[in-house]
């Protein structure tokens, strides 16, 4: 029986690819560098803003990353206003959340997006009372795939790791959930797709949000048989 769900944000709950591509390319434009493509951005995300900018700078010809600090400062300013640019929940996500809450499933978000921006996106798209905990990348807290944050959130949700589902769309998410000892669900509708998730070792891959509710509901039925 599961008591809690921890969701990744970008590529899992929300389609943020336009927002990320826009903010990176505005940063590169200010620096006089060529833009990256949307598909490049799709493959660069997942490990936080610094890694996204490192990969984007290299793709734009800045191989030695001498201007990384400049890029970080510019991106931080741009993303403050661009973090919800064209951001929408994936089809079926709102319905999934509306079913999980009355079923007594406690929910949280864990993202490698900067904490301030993760909070801003979640509250603007989902309101302030959907999730019991929202956490982005914070100073002093190891970022995913380190399991420390996921385990701490499970404790905040009053659930053991064995009672918690970790749900995400990338290789980083699969590694995070497995390291935390949580049942981990890879979602195919996000930034990576089925093949990448399978190669990352995902044991469960789901193609629509409502499959997650059905999985939880089936475990609930089994526990009472």
First to last CA, the chain: 12
Would you please indicate which residues are annotated as catalytic (active-site) residues?
8
Burial class (CB in 10 A: 0-12, 13-18, 19+), 185: buried
Distance CA 118, CA 173 (A): 16
CA-based torsion, 18, 23, 27, 32: positive or negative? positive
Distance CA 183, CA 167 (A): 9
User: Which of 5, 12, 9 lies closest to 192 in space, CA to CA?
Assistant: 12
């Amino acid at each position: 029986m599961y008591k809690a769900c921890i969701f990744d944000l970008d590529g899992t709950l929300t389609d943020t690819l336009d927002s990320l591509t826009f903010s990176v390319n505005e940063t590169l434009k200010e620096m006089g560098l060529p833009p990256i493509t949307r598909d490049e951005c799709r493959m660069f995300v997942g490990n936080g803003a610094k890694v996204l900018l490192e990969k984007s700078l290299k793709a734009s010809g800045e191989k030695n990353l001498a201007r990384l600090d400049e890029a970080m400062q510019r991106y931080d300013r741009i993303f403050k206003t661009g973090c919800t640019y064209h951001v929408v929940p994936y089809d079926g996500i709102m319905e999934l959340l509306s079913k999980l809450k009355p079923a007594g499933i406690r929910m949280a978000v864990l993202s490698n997006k900067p904490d301030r921006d993760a909070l801003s996106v979640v509250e603007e798209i989902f309101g302030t009372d959907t999730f019991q905990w929202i956490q982005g990348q914070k100073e002093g807290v190891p970022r995913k795939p380190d399991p420390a944050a996921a385990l701490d959130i499970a404790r905040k949700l009053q659930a053991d790791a064995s009672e918690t589902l970790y749900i995400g769309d990338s290789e980083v998410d699969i590694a995070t959930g497995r390291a935390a000892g949580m049942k981990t669900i890879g979602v195919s509708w996000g930034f990576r797709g089925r093949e990448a998730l399978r190669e990352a070792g995902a044991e469960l891959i789901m193609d629509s949000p409502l499959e997650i509710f059905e999985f939880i509901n089936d475990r609930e039925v089994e526990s009472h048989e």
